[in-house]
């Protein structure tokens, strides 16, 4: 299996690469992780992963200035149907637009806006940083075999914004932080996690392994 881990100057690539290799071992598959932004690598990849850290606008601008990257991603994912995983801001970039430091157009793969967290409890600080369980809102293969709910496995979050999809069909799981927080979104061959699976220990490895086995 050929996994393209996109390097556009906005993500913790080495941690993500190690987690993906561990997930390959978990599934018994042979494969390799290619870090970079070569359109030819993306075009021939079996799976594509887009990490992201920092502000939405900065990540969006970084993505846009890499020659040929956005077109290669669009063709591979929406044209050829390659399974895609966005992580943290990489998930947020799937939205129609981000509302951090003004309005910035996203990729538009999952209709919705990226908005600042607004916990109902004023004692809860933003950014949201720490471990949370997940509640499933819509079944998806990436959650197969993962213990969810209040007594389930925990995912690691570090963010101030989250993607609110239009309608409920593209929202797969939420976390609780003074109200529901979008934890996983998805549509067609695209999936995104607001949390960091590469830092989420057992839950993260299981989710990545499911992503690598997923055949949409």
Active-site positions?
A: 88, 196, 198
Q: What are phi and psi of 112, to 5 degrees?
A: 155, 175
The residue length of the chain stands at 216
Question: What phi-psi label fits residue 20: left (phi over 0), alpha (psi between -120 and 50 degrees) or beta?
Answer: alpha
């Amino acid at each position: 299996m050929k996994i393209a881990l996109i390097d556009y100057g906005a993500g913790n690539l080495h941690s993500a690469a190690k987690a993906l290799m561990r997930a390959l071992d978990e599934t018994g598959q042979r494969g390799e992780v290619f870090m970079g932004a070569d359109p030819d690598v993306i075009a021939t990849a079996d799976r594509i992963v887009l990490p992201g850290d920092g502000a939405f606008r900065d990540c969006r601008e970084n993505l846009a200035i890499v020659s040929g990257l956005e077109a290669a991603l669009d063709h591979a994912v929406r044209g050829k149907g390659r399974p895609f995983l966005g992580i943290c801001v990489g998930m947020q970039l799937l939205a129609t637009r981000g509302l951090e430091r003004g309005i910035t157009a996203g990729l538009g793969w999952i209709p919705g806006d990226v908005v600042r967290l607004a916990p109902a409890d004023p004692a809860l600080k933003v950014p949201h940083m720490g471990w949370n369980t997940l509640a499933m809102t819509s079944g998806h293969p990436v959650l197969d075999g993962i213990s969810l709910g209040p007594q389930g496995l925990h995912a690691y979050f570090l963010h101030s914004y989250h993607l609110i999809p239009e309608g409920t069909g593209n929202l797969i799981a939420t976390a609780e932080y003074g109200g529901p927080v979008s934890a996983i979104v998805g549509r067609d061959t695209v999936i995104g996690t607001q949390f960091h699976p590469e830092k989420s220990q057992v839950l993260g490895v299981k989710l990545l392994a499911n992503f690598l086995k997923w055949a949409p």
